[in-house]
Each structure stands twice: as structure tokens, then as C-alpha cells.
């Protein structure tokens, strides 16, 4: 009996430590642990360490749930509960950037207010967040297939005051600016925590739309891939 209880405790600890072991169904919201909002490197040091890592990711060591919680809160979490204001600025108060998260365990959407992950599908779609090209070429992004996770920033025009993509230059420009602000938060978190990352604009929006089941008013515009530095 003691062995059974001990095994159960160990299994529970593994579930808490590794997001790839999350037991979830499509549509379910997985509650993340509270973000750790103290500690880390000073801002100026994080800015000094900020860098992009292309094709130099180390072994695919999955992020823990706590790391994922901290990462997503830093990206665009709620830092003022009254009004649900975020860590990243947003033009006209739109908050029209949805963060889709790909891991080996599936595809999720970050719910900032609930600070959780909504399960979109239990399928590894990491490969759809990068472009493939000739070996050594600038467009080769094979690392996206195996890196622990990518954050895909999807603009939703239904949240942008009724603006549309076609013929609405302001709407598109502001959406890119909103996504870029989130991406810089991710960079600074990764620099503070010693994680490798890279912001990528060379994605296939049509492929992402099909794989992620996006609506017509949604468009993937940028993505950040996160992992460990190669030794």
C-alpha cells in the first residue's frame, strides 16, 4: 500500500512539473499556477542579455508549468485586476492579440483573465509554426518542430472596433504593434530566466489558420519560439 501511495505522489509531482503531461480534453481550461512576480534579473541586465537564438536550441527540455505560467503572465497577463489591464500595452484598449501556445502536448489559447490555457486540440502542431527551407538558408526554421513551445500571436479584428484586414491600414498596423509589445515582454522574461528565444515573422498564415481553426477575422502575424540554449 505504501508503494502505491508513493507512486501516486511521484506521478502527481510529474504532472505538476511538466506541461506535456497535462491531462485535458478539447475545450477545457487548464488553470496555471500563480505567476512568480518577484525575483529575476534587474531590467537593465535583462535588456543587456536580450538576444535572438536561431537554430541554436539545445535538447527539447519541456518548460515546467511554473515557467509557462510566468512566461505567459509576462507576455500579456493581468497586472491590475481592476479593469483587467495587462503587462503589455494595446492600442485603443483592444487587447485583440490572442496568444496560441504550441507544445508537444497540444495547442492551447492563453486566457489572461483566468490565467489558464484553453485546450484547442490534443495534437502536436509545432511544425505548423515555422517555415521550412534549404539547409543553411535564412528561411529554415526546423527548430520550431522540436523546441519546447512557440507562442503564436493571432490578431482578432472582431476585437478591434469593427476594423477589417483589407483596406484598414490602421487596424493592421496597430495589431502588429500590439503583438510586438507582447513579444518584447517575452524576450525580457527569457533573458531574465536564461531561456533561448527568437521572434519570427516568416510564418505561413494560411497554414496556421487551417491548423488552428481560426475564424476569417483572425490572422497569425508573429510567433516566438522558446527553449533551452545549446551547450
pTM: 0.85
Report helix, strand or coil for 103. Answer: strand
Band (169; pLDDT cuts 50, 70, 90)? confident
Rounded to an integer, the average pLDDT of 179-207 is 94
Round to whole Å and give the CA distance between 89 and 3: 51
Q: How far is CA 24 from CA 15, 20, 29, 43, 213, in A?
A: 12, 11, 8, 36, 19
Q: What is the pLDDT of residue 19?
A: 45
The helix or strand, by DSSP H or E, that contains position 124, with its residue range, turns out to be: none
Residue ranges covered by each domain of the chain: 24-227
What mean pLDDT is predicted for residues 29-56? 92
Q: What angle do CA 75, 202, 97 make, to 5 degrees?
A: 35
| Of the candidates 185, 177, 182, the residue with the CA atom closest to the CA atom of residue 46 | 185
Q: What pLDDT score does 170 carry?
A: 80
**Residue 31 CB partners (closer than 8 Å, separation 6+):** 114, 115, 116
> Is pLDDT larger for residue 219 or for residue 168?
219
Q: Is 102 exposed, middle or buried (0-12, 13-18, 19+ CB in 10 A)?
A: buried
The answer to whether 221 and 152 have CB atoms below 8 angstroms apart is no
Query: What does the pLDDT read at residue 9?
Result: 40
Mean pLDDT, the chain, integer: 84
Q: How confident is the model at residue 158 (pLDDT cuts 50, 70, 90)?
A: confident
58 pLDDT band (50/70/90 cuts)?
confident
At residue 162, φ and ψ (nearest 5 deg) are 80, 5
Question: Which pLDDT does position 60 carry in this prediction?
Answer: 78
Residue 63: pLDDT above 70? yes
pLDDT 10s digits, 2-33 = 444 444 443 444 344 444 445 556 678 999 99
**What's the confidence (pLDDT) of residue 59?**
76
Mean pLDDT computed over 99-123: 96
What confidence score (pLDDT) does residue 137 get? 47
| DSSP SS3 for 47 | helix
Tell me the average pLDDT across 52-80.
90
Mean pLDDT of 41-62: 87
Do residues 187 and 197 touch, judged by C-beta distance below 8 A? yes
The predicted pLDDT at position 223 comes to 95
Model pLDDT for residues 115-148, shown as the tens digit of each residue = 999 999 999 999 888 765 444 444 567 888 889 9
Average pLDDT, stretch 36-59? 89
What mean pLDDT is predicted for residues 26-43? 91
pLDDT at 96 over 70: yes
> Is CATH 3.40.109.10 the right assignment for the domain spanning 24-227?
yes
Q: Which residues contact 141 (CB under 8 A, 6 or more apart)?
A: 130, 131, 132, 133, 200, 202, 225
| Nearest-angstrom CA–CA distance, 59 and 147 | 8
Say if residue 87's pLDDT is above 80: yes
Amino acid at each position: 500500500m505504501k508503494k502505491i501511495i508513493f507512486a501516486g505522489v511521484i506521478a502527481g509531482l510529474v504532472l505538476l512539473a511538466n506541461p506535456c503531461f497535462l491531462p485535458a480534453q478539447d475545450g477545457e481550461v487548464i488553470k496555471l499556477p500563480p505567476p512568480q512576480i518577484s525575483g529575476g534579473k534587474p531590467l537593465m541586465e535583462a535588456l543587456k542579455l536580450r538576444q535572438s537564438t536561431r537554430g541554436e536550441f539545445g535538447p527539447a527540455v519541456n518548460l515546467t508549468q511554473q515557467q509557462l505560467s510566468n512566461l505567459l503572465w509576462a507576455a500579456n497577463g493581468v497586472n491590475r485586476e481592476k479593469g483587467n489591464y495587462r503587462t503589455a500595452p494595446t492600442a485603443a484598449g483592444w487587447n485583440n492579440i490572442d496568444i496560441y501556445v504550441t507544445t508537444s502536448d497540444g495547442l492551447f489559447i492563453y486566457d489572461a483573465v483566468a490565467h489558464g490555457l484553453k485546450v484547442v486540440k490534443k495534437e502536436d502542431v509545432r511544425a505548423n509554426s515555422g517555415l521550412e527551407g534549404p539547409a543553411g538558408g535564412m528561411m529554415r526554421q526546423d527548430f520550431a518542430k522540436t523546441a519546447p513551445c512557440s507562442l503564436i500571436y493571432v490578431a482578432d479584428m472582431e476585437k478591434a472596433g469593427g476594423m477589417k484586414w483589407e483596406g484598414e491600414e490602421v487596424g493592421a498596423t496597430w495589431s502588429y504593434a500590439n503583438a510586438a509589445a507582447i513579444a518584447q515582454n517575452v524576450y525580457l522574461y527569457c533573458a531574465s530566466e536564461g531561456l533561448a528565444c527568437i521572434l519570427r515573422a516568416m510564418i505561413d498564415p494560411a497554414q496556421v489558420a487551417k491548423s488552428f481553426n481560426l475564424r476569417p477575422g483572425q490572422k497569425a502575424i508573429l510567433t516566438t519560439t522558446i527553449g533551452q540554449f545549446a551547450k
